[in-house]
Structure 1
């Protein structure tokens, strides 16, 4: 199985989009590729390429649906409550139809529908993830402050890279800690792995609700 983590940005901001490809080995995910500054066709080509060889599981950090009528989806409300209970700030969960979110949401929805239309040799599955919540829900209490600061703080990213390797994400280069988008793409893969692999389970899960919300949402 190949596990892909994607930290998506808005459609005009390719430089902040990062894709990681991990190979599942016994008791670990091994990083085999990291791509940054990429557009939709780059993402689609990589998914199509990896699906030639194996099943592909994709964790995407972006809204993959929106609430009819606007505002929060049920999953957004529940995840916000969950991260607040951990000690995280609620502001990282925003309604997909907020002005600052709409193009980001549009890209997530468009990209997933294009992935669904691929004629792949092996199965491809998609889950919406929240990297900060994936990290925060797994960090021990004495290290929790790192999830609150890693977006801005290099020392926190150094710690989280090392911690992720302790979570059996292997072969992570030092460059992963240089900026938060690479950390988030790796965390997205960690969440997707725990969602798909039956020996694990997500720390929080909101099941898909077809047809309006067609993907599971987890951390």
Structure 2
């Protein structure tokens, strides 16, 4: 199984879009590669390439649907309540139709449509993830401050990179700690792995509700 984590940014912001690829083996995720500054076509080409090798599971950090009429989706409300119980800030969960989110939502929906239309050798599945919640729900309570500060603080990113090893993500290069987007892409892969692997389970899950919300939402 190949696990791909994607930290997606808006359609015009390729610079902050990061994709990581891991191989599941012997109860671990072994790091394969990190791609940054990437377009939708770069993402699709990598998914297609990995699907020639094995089944592909993709965790995407972006809204993959929106609420008809605007505002929160039911999953957004539940995830916000969940992270508050952990001690995290509710503002990290934003409605997909907010002005600052709407272009990211547009890209997420468009990209998943294109993924579903890819001709692939092996199966490809997609889950919407929230990297902060993935990390925060697995950290010890005394370490929670690292998830609250890693976007601004390289020391926190160094801690989380080392913590990923405890979560059985192996062979991570130092470059992962240089940008929060790389941390998020690795966390997205961790969440997708726990969502898909039958021997594991997510910390939180809102099941897909087609046709308006066609993908599971998980951390």
Shorter-chain TM-score: which interval? over 0.9
Quote how far apart the aligned CAs of 1:141 are.
Answer: 1.1
Secondary structure of 2:182's aligned partner: helix
Q: Within the alignment, does 1:39 sit opposite 2:39 as a pair?
A: yes
Structure 2 partner of 1:88? 88
TM-score (normalised: structure 2): 0.99
- What do residues 169-190 of structure 1 show as CA deviations (whole Å, max 9, x unaligned)? 0010011001100000000000
Counting only pairs closer than 5 Å after superposition, residues 183-202 of structure 1 correspond to structure 2 as 183-202=183-202
**1:62 and 1:141 mapped to 2: Cα distance?**
26
Structure 2 partner of 1:105? 105
Structure 1 partner of 2:25? 25
Structure 2 partner of 1:70? 70
Counting only pairs closer than 5 Å after superposition, residues 121-136 of structure 1 correspond to structure 2 as 121-136=121-136
Structure 2 alignment gaps of length 5 or more: none
Quote how far apart the aligned CAs of 1:41 are.
Answer: 0.1
Structure 1 partner of 2:159? 159
TM-score (normalised: structure 1): 0.99
Quote how far apart the aligned CAs of 1:129 are.
Answer: 0.1
- What do residues 58-115 of structure 1 show as CA deviations (whole Å, max 9, x unaligned)? 0000000000000000000000000001000011100000111110000000000000
- What do residues 16-71 of structure 1 show as CA deviations (whole Å, max 9, x unaligned)? 00000000010100010100000000000000000011000000000000000000
Structure 1 alignment gaps of length 5 or more: none
After superposition, the CA RMSD in angstroms is 0.4
**1:37 and 1:116 mapped to 2: Cα distance?**
23
**2:153 and 2:144 mapped to 1: Cα distance?**
14
**1:130 and 1:35 mapped to 2: Cα distance?**
19
Secondary structure of 2:34's aligned partner: strand
Q: Within the alignment, does 1:50 sit opposite 2:50 as a pair?
A: yes
May I ask how many residue pairs the two structures share in their alignment? 219
Give 4+ residue runs of structure 1 displaced > 6 Å after superposition: none
Secondary structure of 1:88's aligned partner: coil
Q: Within the alignment, does 1:178 sit opposite 2:170 as a pair?
A: no
**1:122 and 1:153 mapped to 2: Cα distance?**
39
**2:172 and 2:92 mapped to 1: Cα distance?**
25
